[in-house]
Amino acid sequence: MAQEYEKLDLNQRTDKGKSKARSLRREGMIPGIYYFHGEANVNLQIDKKKLYHAMSSGQHVFEVEMNGKTQYVTIKGVQYHPVTDEVLHVDLMQVNMTEKMKFTIPISLEGEAEGVKEGGVLSQILTSVEVNCLPTSVPDNILVDISKMELNSNMTVGDIIDIPTDVEILSDLEATIATLAPPKEEEEPVVEELEEGEEMLEGEEPADGEAPSDQEQSPENKDDSKESDSQKTSSDGSD
């Protein structure tokens, strides 16, 4: 059974400029460009809903009608709105179904790592890889089994084993896909000891055997001290 491809509805456009592009977007169309090596670029407008559906399908090659003929294209570039993330412009490149070319394929992690069961923290560093293959053999994603990852380990592109024989990985084989770090230990609060000569803050209790300073004495103790001093002065004066 022949592979089916998502179809993009597109039409050539002759009007150019920012104002014309904004008008197209208000009408539910996305401005774009279609190109192929050795041929002149063609300005296009693409149905927004069909484009979004195709982009979310996981496919990398799409079917289009150009000059009454069925052609196949891949999305080579997308311009997004910086705030809303809506698609503002798209670049489509015609592909030759019998020639290998480069594709960017997403990485999907599968399985539960042994280190995660022990409380470790798994972090995915690389989310896609570059591959070289025929447009008819483009995988939807690259599956990476992480079930055997242990604490303090990592997985690289070179560790990928589940990949079709007719697909060549172009990315650096030493590039890290995921790491598994041990759980962070909770730090105990540090209690600082007062050095000699430092005063205690208000409300702190003196250490065992340490007499409170004059400023720390209660009002009653201060009155007793004043009375004792008064009696001593009176006694000295009577001599």
pLDDT of residue 147: 94
CATH of the domain spanning 103-181, picked from 3.40.50.300, 3.40.50.2300, 3.40.50.1980, 2.170.120.20: 2.170.120.20
The answer to whether residues 148 and 114 touch, using CB atoms and an 8 Å cutoff, is yes
Residue range 213-218: average pLDDT?
Answer: 51
Least confident of 7-16, 63-72, 187-196: 187-196
Give 164's pLDDT tier (boundaries 50, 70, 90): confident
Give 175's pLDDT tier (boundaries 50, 70, 90): very high
Task: Answer whether residue 239 shows pLDDT above 60.
Answer: no
pLDDT of residue 227: 53
| Domain segments of the chain as ranges | 10-95, 103-181
pLDDT of residue 38: 76
233 is written with which tokens? Answer: 């002065």
CA dihedral over 82, 83, 89, 94, signed as positive or negative: positive
Could you name the CATH architecture of 10-95?
A: Beta Barrel (2.40)
Task: Answer whether residue 1 shows pLDDT above 50.
Answer: no
pLDDT of residue 210: 54
Angstrom distances, CA of residue 1 to CA of 4, 54, 71, 79: 9, 21, 19, 35
- Averaged pLDDT of the chain: 82
